[in-house]
Structure 1
Amino acid sequence: MIDLKDLTHSLQQQYRAPVEKWDPPFCGDIDIRITADGEWLYQGSPIKRVELVRLFASVLWRENDEYYLITPAEKVRIVVEDCPFIVTEWHNPEDKPDLIQLVTNIGEVYILSHEHPLRIVDSLPAVEIRDGFLARVHRNVYYQWAALAEEARDDEKAGYYLQSGDARFWLGPQS
């Protein structure tokens, strides 16, 4: 039987360069924008190659609420309108049906857990993923989760909660 920590660790070995080890010079701004719906644009045009988006996402870094693409040789600033990633899918793993497994718009996979919590940011749900980045929960995923949500227990803040393993996350208020 696989441990939750082992499963989480194995899922995190994905699409990421060791940018925290690099200290290149700042080379200015580049006209790359991540829109609020997760689309990557270069000079206003969509970047259609998923492999290229994944490559850029692998070197994405955040400092002081600004986002950068970092390589060993250079650091360039980009614009992120909201969260840099989107939770586009979810399911319950067959071997752990009490867990919620998430998939982002670039194919990264995470378990909704204390390590990757659901948070309400700017009145909308987001999940904390790698390197402290947030992945905004897509509206379709949110509606599916709303159908699963449970009412608060006596010792919890009023509202609806989502359960994943031993973790409960506040999803929203009662209407």
Structure 2
Amino acid sequence: MPYTPPPDLAALSLEDIARMVAERRLPPVDQWHPAEELDSQMEIRADGSWWHQGGPITRPSMVRAFSTLLMRDDAGQHWLVTPQDRQRIAVVDAAFVAVDVARIDGALAFRLNTDDTVIAGPEHPLIARGDAETPAIYLAVRHGCLARINRSTWGQLVDMALEKPGMDEGTDGGLSVDSLGISFPLAPQ
């Protein structure tokens, strides 16, 4: 079946996004508990590129398919999970990269490098790590996996934070954005 890229985030309503998310039925990896453990010989690099045995995976459809099988355990290990086995996958920083954001009806909708759409909120919080000089912002995606907010998307978030009443460019790290009624800082506290 041919792949149809998702529409532009800014052109969607929250209802459109909710429908898209609901229509994308993901495998129930959280319900699978296979006993066999293997090494996938795969790596997700910091830029979001996927590699297998030292070579890049160049087919976006394969990356999208593999990404639906990802989970991260409590120890921080990432796995590709199937009903038959779970395979370790090395992740340099985060399993996903958030490549775009749009503010829609009081919510922040993010597009990931896998074309997934995630709305920041109680189930998908923004997490600030690093320090004030070099913050790293992440979005909780699913099954313990995170998306690193890329530089241009972080810039969009800063612009949104500066638009809030009472904010100005002289503010020293007190920037935050709101989504679904929750305020998320853009710098580690």
- Name which of 95, 104, 124 aligns with 1:116: 124
How far residue 15 of structure 1 moved from its aligned partner, in angstroms, is: 5.8
Corresponding residue of 2:26? 16
For residues 87-131 of structure 1, the C-alpha deviation after alignment (integer angstroms, 9 at most, x for no partner) is: 0011133xx2x3221111101111122221111133410111222
Give the alignment's Cα RMSD to 1 decimal.
2.6
One-letter amino acid of the structure 2 residue matched with residue 82 of structure 1: D
One-letter amino acid of the structure 1 residue matched with residue 100 of structure 2: E
For residues 125-161 of structure 1, the C-alpha deviation after alignment (integer angstroms, 9 at most, x for no partner) is: 01112223211000111012112214798xxxx6111
Are the structure 2 counterparts of residues 27 and 113 from structure 1 closer, same or farther at C-alpha, using a change threshold of 3 Å?
closer
The TM-score normalised by the length of structure 2 is 0.76
Residues in 2 aligned to 1:9 and 1:130: alpha-carbon distance in whole angstroms: 15
Q: Which runs of 4+ in 1 moved over 6 A?
A: none
Matched residue SS, 1:88: strand
Are the structure 2 counterparts of residues 113 and 136 from structure 1 closer, same or farther at C-alpha, using a change threshold of 3 Å?
same
Corresponding residue of 1:128? 140
What runs of 5+ residues in structure 2 fail to find an aligned partner? 1-13, 167-172
Corresponding residue of 2:94? 83
Count of residues in Structure 1 that have an aligned counterpart in Structure 2: 164
- Name which of 110, 129, 142 aligns with 2:154: 142
Matched-pair identity in %: 30
Residues in 2 aligned to 1:146 and 1:35: alpha-carbon distance in whole angstroms: 25
Residues in 1 aligned to 2:124 and 2:66: alpha-carbon distance in whole angstroms: 22
Conserved? CA contact 1:54–1:106, under 8 Å: yes
Corresponding residue of 2:77? 66
2:119 is equivalent to residue 104 of structure 1: no
Conserved? CA contact 1:152–1:161, under 8 Å: no
How far residue 29 of structure 1 moved from its aligned partner, in angstroms, is: 1.1
Corresponding residue of 2:187? 172
- Name which of 174, 183, 187 aligns with 1:159: 174
